[in-house]
């Protein structure tokens, strides 16, 4: 057995290949035999297309069982799986393809015509399609192939995936994840969250992000059990399926939405063993309210794309609202001074730095960015500001870099500001996150116009819609005569946030 994460996970698959792996809302079931056969055919097709170890396979498809099989096929073929948010626009996809130079790009059948030029322009040799019903050219071409496929042996350090995270400069960075990164994190989470042979995971997260892909799906694979697979978070479906599930992983928005629903009762959650939250701060109030309504203390954990999961509240022990728990086994977390990198005094506030087998190997083709964010001793600078209390619980205080997290997705202000600043009549803009009862934070733009310019809210929103994924588009726009600045000329976003904090009623 090699260190290929697929081999490690496959060693945990159930003896009975007919056991369920994925069950869709429609009731359609995919067994572990289906997993092996479909991923085997897809891997064979990739190999026939010339995909070799380390080659990238970029994928922008809707969530489906087939998309999971494609992820596994990439691992089996030794390729680097590169999932892209389905909300990314053509221009954004063009950037990713140009940067990553994948050998294959897979999109939904309906987008093929629109993306053909983009793929060609980026030099991608193979454009294939995959639909949610197992349709599309990839599935068609794989259909007649032999499902037996010898998984390509990989070393622990070999590249398994590239996940793009936006940069504050607006340029996205591809976090290179190795097989070790995936397997160490999956084994640890599977263990510390006490997965059992009868667990059923309710999966309502997107699978282009570390949370839904590596945390949720990989835990299920390591457990050799099944998941109830929703296309997206939908309270009706969640309430229908909770009586059959035992574990749910979600972003805080899931929990606030469930709380807003009268169907959330102790009975509705009676079959559940564990509710887990992450990707954005879970308000302590949400944690308390959820406990009052259901009897369940949500287990909050913290992680990021570049590092996988880093900390978790305990399965047995106090899950403290407003904290993200203890560093995971094998993961070291320290609090350092942002400028000097020196560890701060015990209990002090600083930037969280982390080290461990889960930490990525660097940013794709950006050695200088990698060097800026990983210290020579291997400590990765998360950019999150926090502290560790006397009991060892990690608290996240804020983000060093003004990142906005809306509905669990990262929005880097600079990227939105660049679009707004490009509108005729706009002098400059500042994009901030404002507390929002549903999204956690909502994007807001504060805009300075040229005197007499006719730019209005519709123009700002319209320009953003055209060029950016929907979740990055401002939900509010305000026009000001000047932006507040400090003595160094930097815009004081904290003042803008303060002035607008009640805007969405959170
Ligand atoms: P991403 O790379 O998209 O997973 O985003 C990672 C960032 O999300 C982290 O650096 C944190 O700022 C934030 N984050 C993730 N989990 C939590 C959490 N439980 N509480 C607060 N922030 C979190």
DSSP string across 382-404: EEEEEEE-TTS-EEEEEETT--E
- Is the per-residue pLDDT at 488 higher than 50? no
**Cβ of 183 below 6 Å from ligand 1:** no
Determine the average pLDDT of the residues in 185-211: 97
**Cβ of 217 below 6 Å from ligand 1:** no
- Is the per-residue pLDDT at 73 higher than 80? yes
- Is the per-residue pLDDT at 169 higher than 80? no
**Euclidean distance between CA atoms 131 and 128, whole angstroms:** 10
Nearest alpha carbon, ligand 1 atom 4: 304
pTM: 0.86
pLDDT bracket for residue 494 (50, 70, 90): confident
Residue 387 to residues 329, 383, 400, 459, Cα–Cα distance (Å): 18, 13, 13, 42
- Is the per-residue pLDDT at 246 higher than 60? yes
Test site for ligand 1: of 280, 300, 309, most ligand atoms within 8 A of the Cβ: 280
Output the CA 119–ligand 1 centroid distance in Å.
31
pLDDT bracket for residue 398 (50, 70, 90): low
**Ligand 1 atom showing the smallest separation from residue 305 Cα:** 2
The percent of residues in the chain predicted with pLDDT above 70, rounded, is 97
Residue 240 to residues 27, 243, 268, 484, Cα–Cα distance (Å): 12, 7, 9, 49
- Is the per-residue pLDDT at 506 higher than 80? no
Residue 328's pLDDT is 98
CA-based R_g, the chain, Å:
23
**Cβ of 62 below 6 Å from ligand 1:** no
Question: What domains are defined for the chain?
Answer: 32-180 (3.40.50.12780), 233-399 (3.40.50.12780), 403-500 (3.30.300.30)
Output the CA 302–ligand 1 centroid distance in Å.
6
Spatial CB neighbours of 30, under 8 Å, sequence gap ≥ 6? 20, 21, 22, 23, 38, 65
**Ligand 1 atom showing the smallest separation from residue 277 Cα:** 19
**Cβ of 442 below 6 Å from ligand 1:** no
Residue 167's pLDDT is 46
- Is the per-residue pLDDT at 199 higher than 60? yes
**Cβ of 474 below 6 Å from ligand 1:** no
Query: Which of 85-89, 126-130, 196-200, 473-477 comes out lowest in average pLDDT?
Result: 85-89
CA 263 to chain centre: 28
Output the CA 332–ligand 1 centroid distance in Å.
17
Nearest alpha carbon, ligand 1 atom 23: 280
Residue that is written with structure tokens 């026009």 in the block: 479
Residue 376's pLDDT is 86
**Ligand 1 atom showing the smallest separation from residue 399 Cα:** 12
170 versus 439: the higher-pLDDT residue is 439
Determine the average pLDDT of the residues in 437-453: 93
- The percent of the chain in helix, strand and coil, each rounded to the nearest 5, is 30, 25, 40
Spatial CB neighbours of 226, under 8 Å, sequence gap ≥ 6? 19, 20, 21, 22, 23, 200, 201, 220
> What is the DSSP code (8-state) at residue 463?
H
Residue that is written with structure tokens 């069950």 in the block: 23
**Euclidean distance between CA atoms 224 and 199, whole angstroms:** 10
Question: What H or E segment, with its residue span, contains residue 229?
Answer: strand 226-229
**Euclidean distance between CA atoms 474 and 464, whole angstroms:** 8
- Is the per-residue pLDDT at 362 higher than 70? yes
**Euclidean distance between CA atoms 29 and 289, whole angstroms:** 35
284-294 and 252-259 helices, crossing angle to 10°: 50
Do the beta carbons of residue 307 and residue 189 sit within 8 Å?
Answer: no
**Cβ of 382 below 6 Å from ligand 1:** yes
**Cβ of 327 below 6 Å from ligand 1:** no
Whole-number average pLDDT of the chain:
94
pLDDT bracket for residue 415 (50, 70, 90): confident
Nearest alpha carbon, ligand 1 atom 20: 281
Determine the average pLDDT of the residues in 189-203: 98
Q: What is the dihedral of CA 193, 199, 201, 207, to 10 degrees?
A: 70
How wide is the angle at C-alpha 482 spanned by C-alphas 479 and 486, nearest 5°? 130
Query: Which of 144-148, 256-260, 475-479 comes out lowest in average pLDDT?
Result: 256-260
- Is the per-residue pLDDT at 168 higher than 50? no
**Cβ of 324 below 6 Å from ligand 1:** yes
Look at strands 56-59 and 80-83 and give their pairing: parallel
**Cβ of 166 below 6 Å from ligand 1:** no
Residue 170's pLDDT is 52
Residue 452, helix vs strand vs coil: coil
Test site for ligand 1: of 279, 281, 384, 433, most ligand atoms within 8 A of the Cβ: 279
The percent of residues in the chain predicted with pLDDT above 90, rounded, is 84
**Ligand 1 atom showing the smallest separation from residue 382 Cα:** 10
**Cβ of 212 below 6 Å from ligand 1:** no
């Amino acid at each position: 057995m090699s260190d290929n994460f697929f081999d490690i996970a496959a060693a945990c698959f159930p003896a009975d290949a007919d056991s369920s792996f994925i069950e869709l809302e429609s009731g359609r079931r995919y067994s572990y035999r289906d997993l092996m056969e479909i991923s085997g055919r897809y891997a064979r097709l990739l190999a026939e297309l010339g995909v070799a170890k380390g080659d990238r396979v970029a994928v922008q498809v809707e969530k489906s069982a087939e998309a999971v099989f494609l992820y596994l096929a990439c691992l089996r073929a030794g390729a680097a799986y590169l999932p892209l948010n389905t909300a990314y626009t053509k221009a954004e996809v063009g950037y990713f393809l140009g940067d990553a130079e994948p050998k294959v790009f897979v999109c939904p059948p309906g987008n093929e015509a629109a993306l053909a030029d983009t793929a060609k322009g980026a030099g991608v040799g193979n454009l294939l399609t995959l639909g949610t019903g197992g349709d599309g050219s990839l599935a068609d071409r794989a259909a007649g192939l032999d499902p037996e496929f010898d998984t390509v042996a990989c070393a622990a350090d070999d590249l398994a995936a590239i996940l793009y995270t936006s940069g504050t400069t607006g340029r996205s960075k591809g976090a290179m994840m190795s097989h070790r990164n995936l397997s160490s994190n999956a084994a640890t989470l599977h263990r510390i969250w006490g997965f059992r042979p009868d667990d059923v995971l309710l999966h309502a997260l997107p699978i282009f992000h570390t949370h839904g892909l590596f945390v949720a799906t990989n835990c299920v694979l390591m457990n050799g059990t099944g998941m109830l697979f929703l296309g997206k978070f939908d309270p009706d479906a969640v309430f229908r399926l909770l009586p059959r599930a035992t574990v749910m992983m979600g972003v805080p928005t899931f929990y606030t939405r469930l709380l807003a629903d009268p169907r959330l009762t102790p009975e509705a959650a009676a079959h559940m063993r564990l509710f887990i939250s992450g990707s954005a701060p879970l308000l302590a109030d949400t944690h308390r309210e959820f406990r009052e309504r259901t009897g369940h203390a949500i287990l909050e954990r913290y992680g990021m794309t570049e590092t996988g999961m880093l900390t978790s509240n305990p399965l047995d022990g106090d899950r403290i609202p407003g904290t993200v728990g203890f560093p995971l086994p094998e993961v070291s977390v320290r609090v350092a001074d942002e400028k000097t990198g020196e560890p701060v005094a015990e209990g002090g506030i600083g930037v969280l730095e982390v080290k461990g087998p889960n930490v990525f190997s660097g940013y794709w083709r950006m050695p200088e960015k990698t060097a800026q964010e990983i210290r020579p001793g291997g400590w990765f600078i998360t950019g999150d500001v926090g502290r560790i209390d006397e009991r060892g619980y990690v608290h996240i205080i804020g983000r060093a870099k003004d990142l906005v997290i809306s509905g669990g997705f990262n929005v880097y202000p600079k990227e939105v500001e660049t679009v707004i600043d490009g509108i005729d009549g706009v002098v400059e803009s500042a994009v901030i996150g404002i507390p929002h009862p549903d999204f956690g934070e909502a994007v807001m733009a504060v805009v300075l116009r040229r005197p007499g310019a006719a730019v209005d809210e519709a123009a700002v929103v319209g320009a953003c819609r055209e060029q950016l994924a929907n979740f990055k588009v401002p939900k509010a726009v305000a026009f000001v005569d000047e932006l507040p600045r400090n003595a160094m000329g930097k815009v004081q976003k904290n003042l803008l946030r303060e002035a607008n904090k009640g805007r969405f009623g959170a």
